[in-house]
Structures are given as structure tokens and as C-alpha cells.
Structure 1
Amino acid sequence: MHERAGTTAQPQDLINVDDLLGKYYDVIPDPNDPEQRVVFGTSGHRGSAFDAAFNEAHIVATTAAIVEYRAAQGTDGPLFIGFDTHALSGPATETAIEVLAAAEVEVRVDARNSWTPTPAVSRAILVANGAASAAGLRTSGPGLADGIVVTPSHNPPRDGGFKYNPPHGGPADTDATSWIANRANELLAGNAWKHVKRIPYERAKRAACVKPYDFMAAYVADLPKVINLDAIRDGGVRIGADPLGGAAVEYWGAIAEEHRLDLTVVNPKVDPTWSFMSLDWDGKIRMDCSSPYAMASLRTLMDGGAAPYDIATGNDADADRHGIVTRDGGLMNPNHYLAAVISYLFGGARPQWPADARIGKTLVSSSLIDRVGAKVGRRVEEVPVGFKWFVPGLMDGSVGFGGEESAGASFLTREGKVWTTDKDGLILCLLAAEITGATGTTPSQIHAGLVEELGQSYYTRLDATATKDEKAKLKALSASQVRATELAGQEITAKLTEAPGNGAPIGGLKVTTADAWFAARPSGTEDVYKIYAESFVSQAHLGEVEQAARQVVSEALEG
């Protein structure tokens, strides 16, 4: 824990934006250095121009690869492109448009020449592909749309990010990202990227194939389809929204005005250094709306009985994550909030949803969700980490809600149709206000009731050091390599290397007992593996589970 965690950033914590942008254009990555190649994680390619990991060459090569990939897939409709408020996002977007315009791809850019949240891009793709039409969502045939979102999400200000969303509107799957990354790295090799056809940006933005699209107007107008805004208005719910300097900053004001909500944007500042942020747990500036340290100012605002709002909310830089603060419970743990909203949505708030619509959760999310699922009589589908696993179910309505422990989720419209297939932090924030207005209780109060009925969950996530070889072994682990028969005094009931919901490899290990579990996964960016653990016994038992988890993994790796 950093000694200044939770305190406002100081000048020495801030990036030099001019230096960062200069390196974006001037630094040429070494394609033989694994740290400088294009690598797609669960949410696209991320890196910093300071590290030669996110530079003009990367974006030229990756965009050219996307042009080739979409052509090979027969995707010939418009490509929607949006970007967030990170310093590198603007230049990277301009670079991408230069390549797309030269390739005569039909590009849709924000009509306001402003920031665009990830969910607004996902929604635009789906609407273009028929999601809002009487005929319904189209997934094949000519004219299908896709998109690019230029964002590193909640990452520090020095970082950039670039992700591709195919016609289903959600994060691209591993087959797509592997092909795109491999092709991009081929173009980086031998400086072939320098020969990719481009049009200078000032000309490219005026090209006939580059047209404006009002992402914000379309998204805001459609919100009554997914949120019961009448409940918020009629309940007199007062909302304080903090975009944390991200892409949602203008959206919240538009939502308040168009839908006549008692909603105040408590922090309208946008600053590429994020000088107004409080430092996260490790002393870094990180726009993590689920972190009590990054959300320190909003938590302070809501402290005490005289808090000016009933619900306060936060979003990360591209607004695909949510943070919820209540007057009675403070900043909600993401797992607690997911359990509360699932109880609300499937407990009668969405009567038009399919009667067999499932609850989607990642395997590192709280088992309280499983207990809530049993309570409301719905099947819980447990999938590997990554929102892409929820895409098929959200598309066809067979999954009503999909959520991750990292504060990312989306759900169906009130009629039971697809809303977005990427995470939507805006609707999760508005849902907290809907719950408060419709039930007269806050989400934290709903969670407290679930705990009283279903049991108290003790949950943690931590990192353990690991070499690259150990991480590779962990990713390829088989259940038979786990020799342990008990965990923290309880009999082991399952040893999982595949997700029970869809049979997909989890890239690690999950071990369960009657009242506890742990999961271990290698980090894709650091020499650590992540341990997630939960106990329904006690905080002390959780500590025993943590220690046992380290031992089980060590023995398996040694074997």
C-alpha cells in the first residue's frame, strides 16, 4: 500500500503530455522485443509510448490488419470509431482514420468530434445491424457494421489502448485478435508498416467515406428502453455522477437534461494528466471506479447523514465500468453490487424478460451470485474471465445479465432484447438510481438483506510472484496435477481448469469446497499470478484459504 494512496495527485505524479505525444510519433518499436509487439489482451492492445509499446507504428499496423481482417470476414458496412480522454487516444484515432480512409472503409466518427464511451460504440454497431428493428439483429450478410474503440480503459494516463469490436458489437474473440495481432506484427517487422497507404488526417476527415454519427444523441435517446427512468424521476432520486475525467463527462449532462433527472455532474473536469484524481492503492493515477482509493473524493462527498445525493456514481475513462456509492453503505464492493442488481432484475423488475434467461458470471465473481440465482430460480452460467463470453447470450436474449467482479456488466432491454454486448457502466449506474426509486431501498440495503438470508461472503484478490515458466505451467495446468484433497479444513469438491458454464479453458485453476473457493490465473502483463478467494465461514477462514491456495498452486507447479 502506497503511503499516499487515496490522496490527491501531486505535480511529481503527473505525466508530461507533450513528451508522451512526441514519443508516440518519434519512437519506432523493435518488433523483436516481445514488450514492443502488438499483443491483444482481454480488452485489446495496451501500452505506453514511453515504453515503445503504443506508438504510431502500432496503430498503423493494427488498423491495416483490421482492414484486411474485416474484408476477409465479408464485413463491408460502416466501421464506428470512438475514443476516450487518454492523451494517446486522440492521436491514435487520427492515425487509424488516415489508414481507414485510404482503404476506403466507410467510417463513422463522432459528430461532435468528442469522446465516446465504449457502450455507445457497441450500441451503435448493434443498431446498425438491426438490433432496434422489427426484424431484429442481423449477424450475417452484406453491409454489417463493426467498430474500433481507442481506450486503455481505467489504465494510468501514460497508457493507450486499441480494441476491435466485430459485428456482434462486443470484444473480439481470441481467433480474431490473434489474427489481427499476428498480421500487425508482420507489418511491424522490416518496417513494412511504413508502406501502408494513408491519407493525411486533414484530408482523411473530409473524405467521402468518413461521415459523422451522433453517438451521444442516439445512446441517450434509447435509454428508456433499458432503464426505468420514471422510477428515478417519481422517486425523486438525487444522483451525483463523477465521470472521473472520462468519456462519459458530456453524456451525464445530456442524460440529465433529456430525461429530466435530478442529476449533477460533480466533476466535469477533463485533464489528460488527471491531476484532480486521488492516487490508487499503489500510488499510481488509475481511473478505477471500483477502487476506494481512486474514488476517495466521491466517498468523502457521500460521508455522513447530510450527503447531497441519494446515489453517487463513478465511471472509468471509457465508461465501461461502474462505481456505486450509497449514503448508507459507502462505495459498494463490485461483487456486492452485482448480487444486489441480479436479485432486483430477476426478482420481478423485468417481467418481459425470457422466463429462462440465465445469469452470467465470471468464475472469479462471488458465489453469492450463485446463491441469489438459486433464490430467484434462474440458472447461473459461469464462464472464464473476459466479457466476450457473455456476447452470444446477450445477443439472443438467453442471458439476461452478464457481469464481472471487476465492475463491468450489461443486461437486456426492458423488453428482453440486446442492449449492448460490451460492458456498460452508464446503465449500471442508472440502475442503482432505479433500484432506489422503485424499491425505496438502496442497493447496499438490498445486499445487506441478501447477506442476512444467504450468508456473509469474505472475498479477496491478491498477486503472487511467478516466473514466465511458472505462468506458462499454470495456464496449461490439468486437474490431475492438483494432489490436494482438502482446502482450509474442508473437502475439495471440484478442481476446475475449464469453466462449468461453457467448457472453455480458464487459463488457470479453480478449486472449490462447500463453503469456499480459490482461483489462480497468470497475469498477462506482469510476472505474477492472481489469486481470487472467497469464504462463507469467516475472515479468518478466508486467510486460511489464501495460504492453502498458494500451497496448492506451488505443489501443482512443482509437479
Structure 2
Amino acid sequence: MISNLAGKEAPKEILEDIEELIECYYEHKPDVNIQNQKVSFGTSGHRGTSLKTSFNENHIFAITQALCEYRKSVGINGVMHIGIDTHALSRPAQISALQVFLGNEVKCKIANEDAFTPTPVMSFTIIEANKNSDVLNDGVVITPSHNPPSDGGFKYNTPNGGPADSDVTSIIEKRANEILKNGLNEVKALAQDKISKSDFLDIDDFITPYVESLDSIIDMTAIKNANLKIGVDPLGGSGLDVYKRINEVYGLNLDIVNEKIDPTFSFMTCDHDGKIRMDCSSPYAMASLIKLADKYDIAFANDPDFDRHGIVTKSVGLMNPNHYLTVAIWYLFSNRKEWKNDLGVGKTLVSSSMIDKVVNSIDKKLYEVPVGFKWFVEGLFDGSLAFGGEESAGASFLRIDGSVWSTDKDGIILNLLAAEITAKLEKDPGVIYQEFEKQFGKAYYKRVDAPASFEQKAKLKSLSVKDITSKTLANEEIENIYTNASGNNASIGGLKVTTASGWFAARPSGTEDIYKIYAESFKSEDHLELLIKEAQDLVIKSI
């Protein structure tokens, strides 16, 4: 159900009390006997809120100590790079993490006192730090991504620059909860007032090297020469200075329409449910930029840690993320002549099947994986995957010469790619997608969220093929039922059911008390709604 506040400026009464949020971060102590207060790594690290005692100082102390122990056990002894976004809990969590890293004599690098570091910049920085290095360097990004202002997040990126996979996070998670249970007795922590004096801490400029290398992955000259009028809204996120630096280095005609940094995110328009959520793929959260679409040749936005992209065109307004991913894949393989012919295309299994059709048309190999960008890390790092993308507007791809750029989602390069496409083809990505619809048919896609308890989510996660007794779905014969992804045979943590002209997937959220149903029809809106209804009925019976 769509809230009356959706797409409207956030009223003062729903803004977070930042002072209370930070006070709770330090005062609330988690109880590991309560499931929702334990350390829990989802698809993008540990997330929670201090108000519910799910993201607090003790969590960060425990996670960081566990991470120090893990690094030592696997021989990672280089620099720990630490970046934060603009959420209110990010700065306190960085301080807590530094206390423990420095207490364990781990060499750390952070940006200067007032700076923020986007996720893709951190991934790029880790990869660059490990080139020609005799030690292994890694990093932490402290961010809950697009989640509401009350939330905090802590994500570990390994020496390949990408988010740690479940084999690593399960070790850290288990040990962190043991440390919490033991009352933090094993935590080695430096006093806050000694952080700045530590010999193990360095300050660095993460942004400039990233920006100055952008011309190795995007045709920045083409964008400049086309003199496109570009609008960008950082949505109060960590990459504001990235766009300022891009203008300085490349001289683009780029307007930053909102330069506000405010931990309440009071400038946002509310999302579909009336909450403040910096989701650059949501037409409600993006309402302010969408209004400016006619003013620019191309416009775009990012979420607070800049790992997601939101593309606004004159032709269609805010592009559906699936539509833009399809265009990006087609364009890159058509224009990156230095790329090898045998490169694969990575997509999550809940992304549109229009991607499958386009990838097949250009004779490339599709690599379908469960939800989570971590599944693309190895392929992007070794250069076997040219592109990895997920329906939630996160993607990355290789440099123009086919070498690795970032192994985490990079909303900055996806935004700049939209400008490159518009500059070189003289039509925006929305027009190109409309051409795909004429060629392959129209895709009707929708995601539905519904409340689910911890126990219900666990049941959904453990569904098997045998649990589906029906032979048909939305009046069509069921062709396949998957509980493991076709690309890497990894568990979906739910299931996907396909027919000749549609499919649905159901899975529990790793970060919220909801389950998600994704569905797509190549027939009609009515067929899509029938897919969703039958999928919901199936899930309800199962959990």
C-alpha cells in the first residue's frame, strides 16, 4: 500500500532525533540471547539501528575484534582502509572501530576529519593498494546503504576489493557473538582521545586517485565534447566531493542540484511507505530530481554510500534499474572493443529476463547468481566477468582495456556511463530500452514486500523443490523450479519458479523483517498480477 506521504517532502515529525540515536548507540547493550540483537551479516554486512539495540558500540567493538583476529589468521597484515557514509551512526561506529583496530596495532587509513568515502572508491582504493604490494590490504565501509537515517551498517571488503563472501562473514559473525557473550573481555581497545596520536593511523585522500582514473573506464572526453547538460543529486550521500572533483578534473557541464549533508535527510521526499529512505531507484524518493528531468540531457543520483545508481532521462523519467542494466550491458559490449570475446555477463536471478534476451542476442555467456554482489567479485577481479549487476540498481564493470576497476557496486561509473551513452549515441538510455521492447517484447516486472517474522523468514529460506506441488503457475506449465542459482549452483535462500512467459522468485530480506517476491511477465500487467498472487499464496502456505 502506498503511503499518503510517498513522493512528498518529509514532515518534521518523522525526522530522526540524532542526539537520541547517538546516545542509544553508546548506552544500549545488546543481549546475544535475543536474536535481533546478535551480530548478523546479511548480503551487505551487519546492519541495524541503535534504537532497537541492533547496531551499537558493543556490536562494533566485537565485530572489529573478530575481524582483527580473522585478518591475523589468514595473513592479512597490510593497511585497513576505513570509509564512512553520511548516516548519523557511521561516524560513531568509525571511532569505535578505530579504537579496536589501533588497539590491536592494525595499520589504518581514513579520509580527513570531515570527509566521507563512497563504497566504490573504497573498493578501487583497496585494489590499487594491492598492486605491486608485498602485503595484503583490505577495508571496511561503514554504511547501511540506502536504509533509513536511523540505521547503521558495517561491511568488510577483502583484499580483492569486494564484499566478503559468506565463508568469511560467517567466521567473523560467529566470533563476534562469542566476544559479545563473553562481555567484550577479549577486546583490545584504545581510548578515544588517543586515536589521533596513534602511530598506526594515517590520513589519506581516497577521492582524487579514483576521479583521476575515471577516464580509464568511461569516455570522459566524449561526455565533455558533447557538452551535455547533466544534473546530479547526491541525495546527501558520501560522494558529493566526488562530483565536485569530477567537475574540476574533467570540466563537465554538471550541476549538483543538492549539496546538503544532513543526517536526518530532511530534504528527501518520502519513499512508498512514507519513510525516509535514500533509494535512488524509487520514484518516490527521487521525486525532486524527476521534476528536473526536462532541464537536463541526462540526470542521475546515488544512495548514501554511492554503490547504487538512479538514471533520470528526458524520454522516460526515472529508469527502472532492470531497464538501465539491460542498456548498459548492450552498450558496453558494443563499444568496448578491447574486451575479450569470451567475457561473461553476471546478473542476479531476480533481475529482468530482458537481460537474458539481450545477452543471448549479442552471443555472450550469462552467469546467473543469488542475490548479493559478492557473487560477482571473483569474476570482476580476475577479468572473466565483464559486468555484474543486480536489480536493486547496483553494478560494476571492467575498464576500457578489460582490467579490473572495482569489485563492489559502483553507482558513479554507472551514472557516468549513462552520460557517455547519451553523448556518443545522441539518444538517452530510455530511448534505447524502448527499442529493445520493440525487438523482444515488453517486460512487466514488480517486486512486492510483505512483513515476516524471523521464524517465517527461516522457513522461506529453507524451501525445497519438493515444497512446490503445483504443476502450473499463472495458467502456464511450470518449466523449472530453482533453489540454487544456475550460474554458480549457490543456494538462493528461497526459490525461483519459471514458465514460458514469466517467473517469480521469493526470498527473505537479509536486513529487514520482510520477505520479497519478485515477478516478471512478458504477457501483460494482468498476467504479472496473477503471478504475484499465486506466488504470495504459495509463500503463505509454506511459512
One-letter identity of the residue aligned with 2:280: C
* Matches for 1:105-504 after TM superposition, within 5 Å: 105-111=106-112, 113-130=114-131, 143-193=135-185, 196-302=187-293, 307-347=294-334, 349-504=335-490
What is the distance in 1 between the residues matched to 2:348 and 2:52? 32
What's the secondary structure of 2:207's corresponding residue? helix
* Matches for 1:478-557 after TM superposition, within 5 Å: 478-554=464-540, 557=542
Deviation at 1:467, TM superposition (A): 4.9
The change in CA–CA distance for 1:57 and 1:553 in structure 2 (over 3 A counts) is closer
One-letter identity of the residue aligned with 1:33: I
What is the distance in 2 between the residues matched to 1:464 and 1:245? 28
What is the distance in 2 between the residues matched to 1:153 and 1:326? 24
Deviation at 1:206, TM superposition (A): 2.7
The match for 1:83 is: 84
What is the distance in 1 between the residues matched to 2:318 and 2:32? 43
Deviation at 1:469, TM superposition (A): 4.1
One-letter identity of the residue aligned with 1:274: F
What is the distance in 2 between the residues matched to 1:519 and 1:487? 12
Deviation at 1:200, TM superposition (A): 2.3
The change in CA–CA distance for 1:528 and 1:159 in structure 2 (over 3 A counts) is closer
The change in CA–CA distance for 1:29 and 1:106 in structure 2 (over 3 A counts) is same
Report the more deviating stretch, 26-35 or 466-475: 466-475
Report the more deviating stretch, 445-454 or 527-536: 527-536
Deviation at 1:127, TM superposition (A): 0.6
What's the secondary structure of 2:492's corresponding residue? strand
Deviation at 1:496, TM superposition (A): 0.6
What's the secondary structure of 2:283's corresponding residue? coil
What's the secondary structure of 1:191's corresponding residue? coil
What's the secondary structure of 2:183's corresponding residue? helix
What's the secondary structure of 1:205's corresponding residue? helix
What is the distance in 1 between the residues matched to 2:313 and 2:513? 37
Deviation at 1:232, TM superposition (A): 0.5
Deviation at 1:525, TM superposition (A): 4.5
What is the distance in 2 between the residues matched to 1:449 and 1:342? 15
What's the secondary structure of 2:148's corresponding residue? coil
What is the distance in 2 between the residues matched to 1:492 and 1:469? 28
1:111, 1:215 within 8 Å by CA — same for their partners in 2? no
| TM-score scaled by length of structure 2 | 0.97
What is the distance in 1 between the residues matched to 2:273 and 2:401? 43
What is the distance in 2 between the residues matched to 1:197 and 1:470? 38
Deviation at 1:272, TM superposition (A): 0.6
What is the distance in 2 between the residues matched to 1:127 and 1:169? 9
What is the distance in 2 between the residues matched to 1:511 and 1:410? 27
Deviation at 1:74, TM superposition (A): 0.5
What is the distance in 1 between the residues matched to 2:197 and 2:452? 50
One-letter identity of the residue aligned with 2:407: T
One-letter identity of the residue aligned with 1:196: V
Report the more deviating stretch, 229-238 or 78-87: 229-238
What is the distance in 1 between the residues matched to 2:418 and 2:509? 32
What's the secondary structure of 2:269's corresponding residue? coil
What's the secondary structure of 2:295's corresponding residue? coil
2:47, 2:511 within 8 Å by CA — same for their partners in 1? no
Q: Which runs of 5+ in 2 are unaligned?
A: none
Deviation at 1:256, TM superposition (A): 1.1
What's the secondary structure of 1:169's corresponding residue? coil
Count of residues in Structure 1 that have an aligned counterpart in Structure 2: 542
| TM-score scaled by length of structure 1 | 0.95
The percentage of aligned residue pairs carrying the same residue is 52
One-letter identity of the residue aligned with 1:355: N
1:97, 1:205 within 8 Å by CA — same for their partners in 2? no
What is the distance in 1 between the residues matched to 2:150 and 2:513? 21
Deviation at 1:106, TM superposition (A): 1.1
What is the distance in 1 between the residues matched to 2:345 and 2:363? 10
Deviation at 1:47, TM superposition (A): 0.8
What is the distance in 2 between the residues matched to 1:443 and 1:209? 47
What's the secondary structure of 2:537's corresponding residue? helix
1:411, 1:420 within 8 Å by CA — same for their partners in 2? yes
What is the distance in 2 between the residues matched to 1:24 and 1:111? 23
Deviation at 1:379, TM superposition (A): 1.0
Deviation at 1:472, TM superposition (A): 2.5
RMSD: 1.4
Deviation at 1:312, TM superposition (A): 0.9
Deviation at 1:551, TM superposition (A): 3.4
Deviation at 1:350, TM superposition (A): 0.5
Deviation at 1:476, TM superposition (A): 1.8
One-letter identity of the residue aligned with 2:49: S
Q: Which runs of 5+ in 1 are unaligned?
A: none
Deviation at 1:204, TM superposition (A): 1.7
One-letter identity of the residue aligned with 2:331: Y
What is the distance in 1 between the residues matched to 2:338 and 2:284? 39
What is the distance in 1 between the residues matched to 2:37 and 2:204? 34
What is the distance in 1 between the residues matched to 2:332 and 2:467? 40
Deviation at 1:528, TM superposition (A): 3.7
What is the distance in 1 between the residues matched to 2:492 and 2:237? 31
One-letter identity of the residue aligned with 1:253: K
* Match status 1:3 vs 2:4: yes
One-letter identity of the residue aligned with 2:442: Q
What's the secondary structure of 1:459's corresponding residue? strand
Report the more deviating stretch, 230-239 or 277-286: 230-239
One-letter identity of the residue aligned with 1:451: E
Deviation at 1:473, TM superposition (A): 2.9
